[in-house]
């Protein structure tokens, strides 16, 4: 008996490891050698390419392809129709399967609908990528980035609220009361 749910139209290739409580919805394809953690939700028409690693509680919305070279840590959110790439200079007539660049999406980060992440970049913990953004460079933890090419316009808390830092470099999440400090261009959570 499976400890995960897969819709009858989903295709799951041999050699995948899928954690308990995970749900895989209509017309999705999980390719060989994938590792999918516990309690993930993989929406409709999603492709998970060979050797992709997804942590625990990763939420993937409809129409997303997660290509070889992508690693998503725990609690990552991938919005509808967002796009990953895995080769910097793709050409139909040149086989570059040995040139896949690694892309890491760190714990708790969210990527908005229709955003594009150019391969080889790291998205920091709890970063929030706005809808339609195009990521062409690394994104810091807790950063709020938007646009094409994406530019940082602020900072967010673990719960995704914009942080407003005072003169001493401290901010409080309006939802949780968690405190954050901004020091030398980096944000750190200082309380639970």
| Model pTM above 0.85 | yes
The yes-or-no answer to whether 5-156 and 161-192 have a common fold is no
- Look at residue 154 and give its three-state secondary structure: strand
Tens-digit pLDDT string for the chain (192 aa): 469 999 999 999 999 999 999 999 999 999 999 999 999 999 999 999 999 999 999 999 999 999 999 999 999 999 999 999 999 999 999 999 899 999 999 999 999 999 999 999 999 999 999 999 999 999 999 999 999 999 999 999 999 999 999 999 999 999 999 999 999 999 999 966
- Look at residue 97 and give its three-state secondary structure: helix
- Cα distances from 187 to residues 76, 148, 164, 170, 173, in angstroms, run 19, 24, 12, 9, 13
**DSSP conformation class of 62:** S
pLDDT of 63: 98
Residues 6 or more apart in contact with residue 91 via CB below 8 angstroms: none
Give the Cα separation of 13 and 150 in Å (integer): 35
Q: Can you identify the CATH homologous superfamily of domain 5-156?
A: Hexapeptide repeat proteins (2.160.10.10)
Give the Cα separation of 143 and 175 in Å (integer): 18
Architecture (CATH level 2) of domain 161-192: Single Sheet (2.20)
Query: What are the residue boundaries of the structural domains of the chain, listed by start?
Result: 5-156, 161-192
């Amino acid at each position: 008996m499976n400890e995960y749910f897969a819709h009858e139209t989903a295709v799951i290739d041999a050699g995948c490891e899928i954690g308990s409580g995970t749900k895989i919805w209509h017309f999705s394809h999980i390719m060989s050698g994938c590792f999918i953690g516990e309690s993930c939700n993989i929406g409709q028409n999603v492709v998970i390419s060979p050797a992709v690693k997804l942590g625990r509680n990763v939420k993937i919305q409809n129409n997303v392809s997660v290509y070889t070279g992508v690693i998503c840590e725990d609690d990552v959110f991938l919005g509808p129709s967002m796009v990953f790439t895995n080769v910097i200079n793709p050409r139909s007539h040149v086989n570059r399967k040995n040139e896949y660049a690694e892309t890491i999406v760190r714990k708790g980060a969210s990527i908005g609908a229709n955003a594009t992440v150019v391969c080889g970049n790291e998205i920091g913990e709890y970063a929030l990528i706005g809808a339609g953004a195009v990521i062409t460079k690394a994104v810091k933890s807790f950063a709020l980035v938007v646009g094409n090419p994406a530019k940082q316009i602020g900072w967010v808390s673990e719960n995704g609220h914009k942080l407003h830092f005072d003169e001493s470099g401290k901010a409080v999440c309006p939802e949780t009361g968690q405190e954050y400090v901004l020091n030398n261009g980096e944000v750190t959570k200082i309380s639970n």
